[in-house]
Amino acid sequence: MSTPTLTRQVFDIMDLNLWYGDHHALKNINFPINKKEVTAIIGPSGCGKSTFIKTLNLMINMVPKVKMTGEINFNEKNILDEKIDLVELRKNVGMVFQKGNPFPQSIYDNVAYGPRVHGITKKKHLDELVIKALMDVALWEEVKDRLTAPALGLSGGQQQRLCIARALATKPDVLLMDEPTSALDPISTLKIEELILELKEKYTIVIVTHNMQQASRVSDKTAFFLMGELIELDSTSTIFSNPKDSRTEGYITGRFG
Amino acid sequence: MQICIYPIMTYFRGVWCIMEKIIPAKERLTKSSKNRMDGELRGKILVILCAVIMISATISITIFLGTKGLQSFIKNGVSLIEFLTSTHWNPTNQASPEYGALPFIFGSFAVTFLAALIAAPLGIGAAIFMTEIAPSWGRKILQPVVELLVGIPSVVYGFIGLTVLVPFVRAHVGGLGFSLLSGMIVLSVMILPTITSIATDAMGTLPKNLREGSYALGATRWQTIRKVLIPAALPGLLTAVVLGMARAFGEALAVQMVIGNVRNLPSSILDASATLTTIITLNMGHTTYGSVENNTLWSMGLILLVMSFAFILLIRYLSSRRKL
Ligand SMILES: Nc1ncnc2c1ncn2[C@@H]1O[C@H](COP(=O)(O)OP(=O)(O)O)[C@@H](O)[C@H]1O
Ligand SMILES: [Mg+2]
């Protein structure tokens, strides 16, 4: 387990297997995730991308009858261990979903939700965190005059950026994104992509995408999944220009999926 | 003119097949659409008729109740102020009859709010249990319970209240047993299923991604329920409570059997009391149509109607505030 490169790794997944009941959805996944890199996960639908990304913050535990074996080491600690503190894990590993899902509350309360849940009550401290998070997602200028307005009044793209801000407000190390732009128009998509490139200065990002251009634009590493298996994981340029596995090549050249 | 030999109610598809063989396309278009129009028209008239009947029934009841209910004030010269504010109800006193309905108005509001006070937390709690805590087996057990409670007729609730609850209150709490307390307990059981089932809908139809969003931020189940789900479902939950209250306000039979039906303003929850509905049902039989007393009963009916409009408006307002 203690290889010299370990310090660069936030996550180190070893021999991960996952079953939904009898359905073997992830098969022997070995997957190191490096600090402050963007890792893109691509693959045809149903190949296990969402399943995989949901194991990283154990959101997968919300699905009944899931069984896992192997190790998911987060900062050198196996989170599949019984004793793991879910609250602490999810505070450090934020997640953004396919469709923006702001709470039906004010913009401010949405961003302050995470910090409040983790026990921060001082107005001044909350204000700081909220402003910082909104600035990080380049939403501050757009909403600073209406922080008390309902978050559901924002446009789709703004809602998604708000959800990113909400995740950032708990000061996570890692940000998981499951097809964060698939419900957005091209301009909002572009904004989120620019945002990802900025955020990777500070955060480790794992993004699931079915858009291969997006993967090539934003990511450092790309992982190709097929039918529950991790077929290939390499630098994005290698995956897109010179993949080792013929199935990867088939997928990126559009022969299937 | 193939169509003519078919009876009026011909099934269009049958016509269509035959026409296709014989009539040229251009004609076919006009013929078939004419025939279809007839069907459209018949259907339309039928449903318009249903709507008209319903609307006119409602309007006639409202007008009737309005005129009857106002007669005691306009024709019989009962003072509206006295009716609404006096606590003395003595319409049979020949020398100086008194028409103060405040004790009954108060009684109606008191049992309604007290019943809601018990049933709202229970019903909403049960709804949360069914949707959030134990969606599989919790629902399987509670759903039939709720349906059963709805199905029990109110006379049975009253009967049980009379035989079990009233003696129990008399023996263990105090007073005669016939009391506001007994009325509110019986009513709260009666409105519990209404509140539970509507609150369950309100919670159950919340988008799944709200829960995900909250859990993914590290919130616990209670934090998620308290800070995200309940606020999001609030308009629906309030609607549930208001509907329950509307039912409680209008319920007569079961309340009448346990509340004691006295004409005094109750001074404690253990005192016997009366509500608008119980006074109407008790007195409508032995007052003559057109008499002052009979007319004041209609006035009470009018108050019930006005209140139910108020409840409807409140529910409308609440559901317009539903954001999701
Ligand atoms: N909650 C679940 N229960 C059972 N099977 C599931 C569940 N979620 C996903 N699956 C199955 O696991 C496989 C991977 O799904 P998923 O991770 O959602 O794929 P992707 O995100 O790559 O489209 C699919 O075959 C899917 O049918
Ligand atoms: Mg998916």
Contact B215 A62 (CB under 8 A): yes
Residue B200 CA to ligand 1 centre (angstroms): 28
CB count within 10 Å of CB B65 equals 17
Which among A67, A71, A90, A89 is positioned nearest to A80, based on CA atoms? Answer: A71
DSSP B285: G
pLDDT band, very low/low/confident/very high, at B202 (cuts 50, 70, 90): very high
Tell me: the pLDDT tens digits for A95-118?
999 988 999 999 999 999 999 999
Q: B209–A89: do the CB atoms touch at under 8 Å?
A: no
Q: Which residues of A touch B228 (CB under 8 A)?
A: 103, 113
- Identify the three-state secondary structure at position B167: helix
For A156-208, what is each residue's pLDDT tens digit?
A: 999 999 999 999 999 999 999 999 999 899 999 999 999 999 999 999 999 99
Inform me whether the pLDDT recorded for B215 exceeds 90.
Answer: yes
Ligand 1 atom 24: residue of nearest CA = A46
* pLDDT value of position A125: 95
Closest CA to A235 of A223, A246, A245: A223
Q: What is the pLDDT of residues B39-68, one digit of tens each?
A: 888 999 999 999 999 999 999 999 999 999
Q: Do B217 and A103 touch (CB under 8 A)?
A: no
| Subunit contact A91:B218, Cβ cutoff 8 A | yes
Task: Locate the ligand 1 atom nearest the alpha carbon of residue A208 and give its number.
Answer: 21
Among A42, A75, A37, A83, smallest CA distance to A56 is for A75
Task: Say which residues have a Cβ less than 8 Å from residue A36's Cβ, sequence separation at least 6.
Answer: A200, A201, A202, A203, A204
Q: For B226, name the nearest residue in chain A, comparing CA atoms only.
A: A117
Q: Which CATH architecture is the domain A4-252 placed in?
A: 3-Layer(aba) Sandwich (3.40)
The average pLDDT across B318-322 equals: 79
Q: Which residues of A touch B209 (CB under 8 A)?
A: 97, 99, 101
- Give the pLDDT band of residue B143 (cuts 50, 70, 90): confident
How many whole angstroms from A95 Cα to the centroid of ligand 2? 14
- Give the atom of ligand 1 at the shortest distance from the alpha carbon of A45: 23
A67 CA → ligand 1 middle, Å: 13
Domain residue limits, chain A: 4-252
- The reply to whether residue A101 touches residue B209, judged by beta carbons under 8 angstroms, is yes
Distances (CA, A) of B236 to B119, B165, B204, B320: 15, 32, 11, 10
Among B132, B137, B217, B225, most A C-beta atoms within 10 A, so best to mutate, is B217
Residue whose CA lies nearest to ligand 1 atom number 8? A51
Q: What is the dihedral of CA B16, B19, B24, B30, to 10 degrees?
A: -60
CB contact under 8 A, B231 and A105: yes
Closest residue, chain B, to A63 (C-alpha): B212
Q: Are B275 and B302 in contact (CB under 8 A)?
A: no
DSSP B27-74: HHHHHHHHHHHHHHHHHHHHHHHHHHHHHHHHHHHHHHHHHHHHHHHH
Average pLDDT of every residue of chain B: 88
Residue B6, pLDDT > 80, answer no
pLDDT value of residue A195: 93
Predicted local confidence at residue B11, as pLDDT: 44
Interchain pair B214, A113: CB under 8 A: yes
pLDDT range class, residue A83, cuts 50, 70, 90 = confident
> Which residues on neighbouring strands pair with residue A96, listed in sequence order?
A177
| Domain B98-320: top CATH class | mainly alpha
Nearest residue by C-alpha to atom 1 in ligand 1: A63
Work out the angle at residue A39's Cα, subtended by the Cα atoms of residues B218 and A223, and round it to the nearest 5 degrees: 115
Q: B130 pLDDT exceeds 70? A: yes
Residues of A with CB under 8 A from a CB of B: 57, 59, 62, 86-91, 94-95, 97, 99, 101-105, 113-114, 116-118, 150, 152, 163, 166-167, 170
B-chain residues near A55 (CB < 8 A): none
Ligand located closest to A98 CA: 2
pLDDT given at position B10? 42
Which helix (H) or strand (E) covers residue A229, if one does? strand A229-235
> Which chain A residues touch B218 with a CB distance below 8 Å?
86-91, 114, 117-118, 170
Q: What is the pLDDT of residues B76-123, one digit of tens each?
A: 888 999 999 999 998 888 888 889 999 999 999 999 999 999 999 999
Residue A1: the pLDDT is 45
What is the rounded distance in angstroms from the CA atom of residue A236 to the CA atom of residue A222? 5
A23-34 and A9-20 beta bridge pairing: antiparallel
Residue in chain A nearest B322 by alpha carbon? A104
Which ligand has the minimum distance to the alpha carbon of residue A99?
A: 2
- Which residue's CA is minimally distant from atom 21 of ligand 1? A50
Task: Tell me whether residues B215 and A152 touch, CB distance under 8 A.
Answer: no
Beta bridge partners of B180: none
Give the Å distance between the CA of A40 and the centre of ligand 2. 13
Of A96, A78, A64, whose CA–CA distance to A196 is shortest? A96
pLDDT level of residue A218 (50, 70, 90 thresholds): very high
Whether the pLDDT of residue B74 is over 80: the answer is yes
Measuring from each residue's beta carbon to the nearest atom of ligand 1, which residues come in under 6 Å? A 20, 23, 25, 43, 45-51, 63
How many whole angstroms from B215 Cα to the centroid of ligand 1?
20
The ipTM of this complex is: 0.92
How many Cβ atoms sit within 10 Å of the Cβ of residue A59?
A: 21
